[in-house]
Amino acid sequence: TDHYHLDRYTGQVLSGHFENGPHAEASTFHTLHALVYDVHFGTVWGLPGRLLVFFASLIAASLPITGFIVWWNRRKSN
């Protein structure tokens, strides 16, 4: 569990324990996979995160096309 039961007057821990998040004992691969999965499906940063990932993906997808256009125009001018 990721919670404590505390005495309301003294603050003493009565039961429970804290784990260092859901990826505490996972391998590096599984931790990165979970993070990439969250970014891919837009669960990180809500709507602003989705918009950021959308525009970054749009720019990345346009790079080969614009690169080809620049190459083609240089090829035609020579």
C-beta separation of 2 from 18 below 8 A: yes
The torsion angles phi and psi of 26, rounded to 5 degrees, stand at -80, 155
Q: What share of the chain has pLDDT > 70, as a percent?
A: 86
Per-residue pLDDT band for 2 (boundaries 50, 70, 90) equals low
Per-residue pLDDT band for 20 (boundaries 50, 70, 90) equals low
pLDDT the model gives residue 1: 43
Does residue 59 have a pLDDT over 90? yes
The string of pLDDT tens digits covering residues 26-38 is: 778 887 887 788 8
Name the 3-class secondary structure at 26: coil
